[in-house]
Amino acid sequence: MQYAWLIWSLILIGVWLAIYFLLDTKEKKREMFVVSFWTSLLGFTEPIFVPEYWSPPSLFDLAMKTGFDVESFIFSFGIGGIAVIIYELIFKTKHEKMNYHEQHSPKHRNHLIALLSAPFIFILLLAVTSINPIYIAIIAMIGGGLFSWYCRPDLKKKMFTSAVIFLGIYFIYFFTLIAMYPGYVEKVWNLKVVSGILIFGIPMEELLFAISFGFIWSSIYEHITWKKIN
């Protein structure tokens, strides 16, 4: 089981590559890669979750020695691009730059607040509560997603649809881990300090993470670049 986390992360990159080569425009490919690149930096948050949420055996045993591991950066790269682009792959959309009046509508005055709300909520709850960090991450992403929805209601369909689609992909993806390494979840996840609820062998928290991540991350590119979907 020493390399399960690495293999599992690399499988995700395989899914990422399959989606990338199915995209029909250079703009969508660029969107996927750029968002993946910046999302990979979330790998730096891994020490917050190890060992409070889980303790994965990692390459060179880095996770247990330092809190960091190579796999987290690979995993974060993969989920970022998939979450942001999967809607556009299925529904064949295209982007259009928002005009001056759209960018300066009353709701868009909260543009920066909406973008910073998730990290603000996460840092605040991490500082003032003893809640397990996985729940803090879920709350922050849901809260940030709701702020984004308020600021950019035109992205509502993409956000909700992407949340459901990404949940489905993640659910199937997680089964590859269970199939390859029976008992891995019980050994690696700190189930005693979270709900302990397994849904078809998958920790409930992982599914909540997937749907909340798909909800907020699917809108991040349009929100930052002031683009809308047609």
Looking at residue 99, its pLDDT comes to 79
Closest CA to 222 of 145, 152, 142: 152
Q: What is the 3-state secondary structure (H, E, C) of 65-85?
A: HHCCCHHHHHHHHHHHHHHHH
Looking at residue 189, its pLDDT comes to 97
Looking at residue 185, its pLDDT comes to 97
- Split at pLDDT 50, 70, 90, the class of 113 is confident
- Split at pLDDT 50, 70, 90, the class of 100 is low
- Split at pLDDT 50, 70, 90, the class of 64 is confident
Average model confidence (pLDDT) across the chain: 93
In the chain, % of residues over pLDDT 90: 81
Q: Per residue in 180-202, pLDDT tens?
A: 999 999 999 999 999 999 999 99
Looking at residue 104, its pLDDT comes to 67
Most confident range, picked from 111-115, 123-127, 174-178, 224-228: 123-127
Closest CA to 75 of 41, 48, 47, 32: 41
pLDDT for residue 37 is more than 90: yes
Instruction: Please report the beta strands in the chain, taking only residues with DSSP state E, as ranges in sequence order.
Output: 95-97, 198-199, 202-203, 227-229
Tokens of 139: 């709350």
pLDDT for residue 226 is more than 80: yes
Looking at residue 61, its pLDDT comes to 86
Looking at residue 92, its pLDDT comes to 82
48, 7 contact by CB (below 8 A): no
pLDDT for residue 105 is more than 80: no
Query: What span, in angstroms and rounded, lies between the C-alpha atoms of 68 and 80?
Result: 19
Q: Per residue in 118-166, pLDDT tens?
A: 999 999 999 999 999 999 999 999 999 999 999 899 999 999 999 999 9
Query: What span, in angstroms and rounded, lies between the C-alpha atoms of 112 and 114?
Result: 5
pLDDT for residue 214 is more than 90: yes
